[in-house]
Structure 1
Amino acid sequence: MSTPKAFLKDHKAAGRRPLNRAVGWSLAAGVLLIAQAWLLADVLASVALFGASLDEVVRPLVALPLLMLARAGALWLADLEALAAARRIKGGMRAELGRRLAGLGPVRLGRPPSAEFGLGLVEGIEALGPYYAGYLPGMALAAVLPLAIIGVVLPIDWISALVLAVTAPLIPLAMILIGKGTERLNQAQWAAMARLGARFLESLQGLTTLKLFAVGRREAALVARLSDDYRKTTMKVLRVAFLSSLALEFLASVSIAVVAVFIGFRLLWGEIDLARGLFVLLLAPEFYLPLRRLGTHYHARLDAVAAAERLLPLFEAPEPEAPPAVPAGARDPRGAHVVFEDAVVDFGDGRRGLDGLSLKVPPGTTLALVGPSGAGKSTAMNLLLGFLAPDGGRVLIDGAPAGDRSHLAWVPQSPYLIRGSLRDNLRLGAPQADDAALLAALEAASAAHLVDLLPGGLDAPLAEHGRDLSGGEMRRVALARALVRQPRLLLLDEPTAGLDAASEQAISAALKARRGTATVILIAHRPQTLRHTLAADDAVAVLEAGRLAALTTAAALDDPAGPLAALFSQAGAA
């Protein structure tokens, strides 16, 4: 496993060119600064000692503002390049992380995104910006510019050059010593912020339940306590940050004062002329400036290391292999051919989602998966969706390993509708579908009336999660969205659960109409789903402990001695 520091270094390559340009412009600004200091010292010495007239110093006086403007422009370009590098690196990381998360799927992630998870994705990547835009260019500049200044000062005043060389390491040394304790505090701050964000989101999501049980005040007190914990950890970090800034400023000020004292005495003794002395004095603060700025940016490095530690497991999660494409000639026009061959899914700790499931679903047929809770129904569906890979055996769709989602559609129990128009939601899985295809899918899902019912028709705006639709309407829109894709394999999880009789009949009729044009596999928990959705000869697979306990048809519902009657009587749902 990589380390956070190696992780940050590896991703620096994406912004290497703008970072190099940023350092180059900063060095150019440093060279201009040296020239500016020399001209200014020469002008002051000429006027103060030799009483030079305006005509004698007009050229350097004209050159000075030009140098200042050029230096300001170089610094501005350096900042632009540094920000461009950070933006490019962050954009690349977000794109890579998006690909990884899409490939992993919700099951491999282990849990749905929470506030803590979102904090790592949003704030975590954003926290890397100051590191790449500030710390890395500052570190390069701190390593080069002081050496350049020493190289200029050395032939002019070797004593001042020696003082600069001896005192310069004290600043990064103090920075490192103070930073050791700060890194631990930064980790604690990130953990406190994650706890606060997660709890606050959970409180908002469960606000109705909290009010019903009259525990709103208690929850508010808990959030307040977590907020206070975050405040305390943040104040500790700021306290150390201010202490380190004070220490760095003190060391730099003392070092400049030492240089000034040496130059003052040597001017008094006549060992150095005024122009050279002023030149060295003007350069001394600029010599320590990159080191002091590096100390300021050092906290950005600590934040980046803490953020990288949370991002690292996501970036190092193994990416699933892309499933091979199925040749068009191998596809049956009636639907997909699905095969489970001794499929095993091992969750560890002795728990198995599937334990050698073998099952065949011919093209164009309908199959219902039934069984008690934990029997493996959802696990089997996740294998077909490509959200899981079998730990043993095989799961094949049209002869190829499952995972290609281009020819399947999925309708869960609680479908998710995005915030956008009805057209946007229907075209989510088929962006090129025209209005005729959308209307045909709505008609097939018995949801065509929504076009007339909603103001704006297909352009009617829908709230996030479809809050402005009823449960039955949401389920019909989700089914229509699946049908727009014209899937060869249609997967559903209890498609009629919790619906009124009219909605249940409409969805059941839509599913029956898919016979012969798609293979349909659905999870059913209630006998009513089987009665309303399946034909008498449609297959029903009874799962138990991850294995196929029985394979029968929907007609077995009327057999009091059959496996379905026994199953639903045990569940109390008959």
Structure 2
Amino acid sequence: MTSPVTAWLREQSRPVRRLLNAGIAAGAAQAVLMCVGAWLLAHVLAEAIFAGRRLADLWPAVAALPLLAAARFALVLWQRRVTFEAGARVSTSVRLSLEERMRLLGPRWAARQSSGDIVTRFVDGVETLIPYYAGYLPQVAFAALMPALILLAVLPADPWSALVLLVTAPLIPLFMVLVGRAAEQASQRRWSRLRRMGARFMDALSGLTTLRLCRATEREQALLAATGEAYRHETMAVLRIAFLSALVLEFFATISIAVLAVLIGFRLMWGTLAFEPGLFVLLLAPELFLPLRALGTQRHRRMEAAAAAEDLIALLATPVEAATPTTAARSSPRPFTAARVGIAFEQVGFGYTSDRMVLHDFDLRLDAGTQLTLVGASGSGKSTLFNLLMGFGVPQRGRILVNGEDLATLDMASWRRHIAWLSQRAHVFHGTLRDNLLIAAPGADDARLERAVRAAALVPVIARLPQGLDTPLGEHGQGLSGGERQRLALARAWLRDAPLLLLDEPTQHLDSATAAVIDAALAKLAAGRTVIRIAHRLDTIAAETRVAVMTDGRIVEVGGAGELRAAHGAFARLLAADRAA
């Protein structure tokens, strides 16, 4: 019975079947030319040595030999080119499928994963597929096709030699089956170790500042060294099996050829076999075993691909129902095109697990063009509310209405174009400042870009950068302060020009002067738009600001900040706790 991993690997080869077949056909043509070349060489030597014919009489056959060699060389190049192209296309297709799956799973799922593990799967895991389709899969066909063609060529020349080859050839695949299980287990252990090492390395790299401050770098270095040493042992175990199996395969092939050579030698001595067919068989005997030996050396590529494919299959099979909106299951989600956004939560219940509900019968209404500030203790459900609005989660109960339409019936891509989101720490990608701004609006012209830069108070930042907007920024915004990164994010929001603003306290980690600049720019941006803001610094909330207090996944108070302070309720208690901290 075919294993699920093998079935999946074969399924991926369907789109490139034509390329693989072309490579296999090139291999078959090589075998035919090889038989023709071996016959010509045996014929030339037999005629020159035993028939006493001159070279001038044999020149057509002699001239054909280099032409056959050149044709075989061209076929080898063609075969490798098309099979590599097949492997590259499969790896590209799988990588695109993984990217699409991760897009469907969403940021909430990605936040729970190890970035090192994901990188290892995406890079090393996908790359192992190329040698599988470029090397191992065609070699399986060659191992069956080429020996069959050679046996067909040997059979009319010397049936006894064909019988010897037919009996000895199966010894090599039989041994491959015997050692295959141990080698496959060793490859799986090695792949698992590589994933763990990649995850640990990426975690250590991202937390290097913390490790340095806590003086834990030496300890982490020792742990990474131990993990690397364990990976080295696993790799050497795989190589040990590969080298030993290759040695045994060479031994069986050599013994088989030696037995055949001895039999042919005796028969030549006894006069029961002519020189020309005997030499022809001896020239082809190593070529018969060559694809079988090559298949043995290619098996480790199959094992690496199978070990990686098991994880890739698991990732591609990760259910998306709990991570993405139900639009994925709708046959015709409706696009959202409104210029203004009104939102209503009706009896919404949501939990990350069945026994951990975050929102309980949550009700909230926000008219288009109005603003609301959400406050509450950590874990009260504020960030979950944003995840649901952005389509990264689906309510288990109730519904979310956007301009009276159920969010679950809307096309997520068109809906998200109406949202601008600012987080506590803006993410800056590796690239120029211009590249990072144009993420929000790839088609923005220079005039629109300049307006966004001025509105976000980013002009002084650009003025001090050596190349202005074209200054390369390091990963995570190296070269920019926290306040400057937030101004960049604010400029993105201006470029996006969305009717709904979701602000996850973008001034939380800034000093008061920088926070005031950002707040002033946000006030201009928020004019006429629907705004929901999560606030953590309650002292800075203006008295006229409309506030909703969340406790245990419910709204317990709504009103102006000044009124709620005077009411000595939930908001007043949060404010007192904030000041005490």
Give the alignment's TM-score, normalised by structure 1: 0.94
What amino acid is aligned across from residue 166 of structure 1 in structure 2?
V
In 2: Cα distance, 1:190 partner to 1:204 partner: 21
2:110: which partner in 1?
Answer: 109
Distance 1:27 1:194, change over 3 A: same
Distance 1:253 1:64, change over 3 A: same
In 1: Cα distance, 2:436 partner to 2:260 partner: 70
In 2: Cα distance, 1:265 partner to 1:370 partner: 96
In 2: Cα distance, 1:439 partner to 1:423 partner: 11
In 2: Cα distance, 1:198 partner to 1:339 partner: 41
Name which of structure 1's ranges 8-17 and 312-321 shifts more when overlaid on structure 2: 312-321
1:149 has 2:155 as partner: no
1:368: which partner in 2?
Answer: 373
What amino acid is aligned across from residue 433 of structure 2 in structure 1?
L
In 1: Cα distance, 2:378 partner to 2:456 partner: 29
In 2: Cα distance, 1:110 partner to 1:10 partner: 31
In 2: Cα distance, 1:348 partner to 1:207 partner: 32
1:435: which partner in 2?
Answer: 446
1:394: which partner in 2?
Answer: 399
Deviations 1:18-75 (A, max 9, x none): 1111111111111111100110111111112112111121111000000000011001
Deviations 1:88-117 (A, max 9, x none): 111111122112212221213352552122
Distance 1:233 1:21, change over 3 A: same
2:432: which partner in 1?
Answer: 421
Q: Is the 8 A contact 1:496 1:529 kept in 2?
A: no
1:58 has 2:59 as partner: yes
Deviation, 1:567, is: 2.3
Q: Is the 8 A contact 1:366 1:521 kept in 2?
A: yes
In 2: Cα distance, 1:282 partner to 1:110 partner: 61
What amino acid is aligned across from residue 134 of structure 1 in structure 2?
G
Deviation, 1:525, is: 1.7
In 1: Cα distance, 2:556 partner to 2:406 partner: 26
1:506: which partner in 2?
Answer: 517
Deviations 1:290-312 (A, max 9, x none): 11111111110000001111111
1:326 maps to which of 335, 341, 361: 335
2:282: which partner in 1?
Answer: 281
Deviation, 1:349, is: 5.5
1:98: which partner in 2?
Answer: 99
Distance 1:442 1:528, change over 3 A: farther
Name which of structure 1's ranges 409-418 and 435-444 shifts more when overlaid on structure 2: 435-444
1:543 has 2:550 as partner: yes
In 1: Cα distance, 2:210 partner to 2:469 partner: 35
In 2: Cα distance, 1:458 partner to 1:228 partner: 45
1:479 maps to which of 485, 490, 502: 490
Q: Is the 8 A contact 1:560 1:566 kept in 2?
A: no
1:567 has 2:578 as partner: no
- The DSSP-based 3-state class of the residue aligned with 1:496 is coil
In 2: Cα distance, 1:156 partner to 1:140 partner: 25
1:552: which partner in 2?
Answer: 559
- Counterpart mapping for 1:32-431 below 5 A: 32-109=33-110, 111-319=112-320, 320=324, 321-322=327-328, 324-328=333-337, 331=338, 333=339, 335-348=340-353, 350-398=355-403, 399-401=405-407, 403=412, 404-431=415-442
- The DSSP-based 3-state class of the residue aligned with 2:525 is coil
Distance 1:365 1:573, change over 3 A: farther
- The DSSP-based 3-state class of the residue aligned with 1:390 is coil
Q: Is the 8 A contact 1:11 1:89 kept in 2?
A: yes
- The DSSP-based 3-state class of the residue aligned with 1:145 is helix
Distance 1:212 1:327, change over 3 A: closer
Q: Is the 8 A contact 2:375 2:550 kept in 1?
A: yes
Deviation, 1:463, is: 2.3
In 1: Cα distance, 2:260 partner to 2:484 partner: 79
In 2: Cα distance, 1:289 partner to 1:570 partner: 78
- The DSSP-based 3-state class of the residue aligned with 2:279 is helix
| Percentage identity across paired residues of the two chains | 46
Q: Is the 8 A contact 1:342 1:358 kept in 2?
A: yes
Deviation, 1:573, is: 5.6
In 2: Cα distance, 1:450 partner to 1:261 partner: 84
2:462: which partner in 1?
Answer: 451
Deviation, 1:461, is: 2.7
Q: Name stretches of at least 5 consecutive residues in structure 2 with no aligned partner.
A: none
- The DSSP-based 3-state class of the residue aligned with 1:469 is coil
In 1: Cα distance, 2:366 partner to 2:142 partner: 66
In 2: Cα distance, 1:437 partner to 1:69 partner: 61
- The DSSP-based 3-state class of the residue aligned with 1:396 is strand
What amino acid is aligned across from residue 465 of structure 1 in structure 2?
H
In 2: Cα distance, 1:258 partner to 1:397 partner: 82
Q: Is the 8 A contact 2:424 2:509 kept in 1?
A: no
Name which of structure 1's ranges 547-556 and 437-446 shifts more when overlaid on structure 2: 547-556
Deviation, 1:336, is: 1.3
- The DSSP-based 3-state class of the residue aligned with 1:415 is coil
Deviations 1:327-383 (A, max 9, x none): 53xx2x4x3122222222222251122222221221111122221111111111111
Report the count of equivalent residues: 565
Give the alignment's TM-score, normalised by structure 2: 0.93
Q: Is the 8 A contact 1:45 1:275 kept in 2?
A: yes
What amino acid is aligned across from residue 552 of structure 1 in structure 2?
G
In 1: Cα distance, 2:315 partner to 2:541 partner: 40
Distance 1:424 1:528, change over 3 A: farther
Deviation, 1:498, is: 1.9
In 1: Cα distance, 2:263 partner to 2:396 partner: 75
- The DSSP-based 3-state class of the residue aligned with 1:507 is helix
In 1: Cα distance, 2:480 partner to 2:308 partner: 40
What amino acid is aligned across from residue 341 of structure 2 in structure 1?
A
Distance 1:206 1:245, change over 3 A: same
- The DSSP-based 3-state class of the residue aligned with 2:357 is strand
- The DSSP-based 3-state class of the residue aligned with 1:373 is coil
What amino acid is aligned across from residue 272 of structure 1 in structure 2?
L
Q: Is the 8 A contact 2:422 2:490 kept in 1?
A: yes
Q: Is the 8 A contact 1:146 1:288 kept in 2?
A: yes
Deviations 1:415-440 (A, max 9, x none): 11112222211110210011211221
In 1: Cα distance, 2:161 partner to 2:169 partner: 12
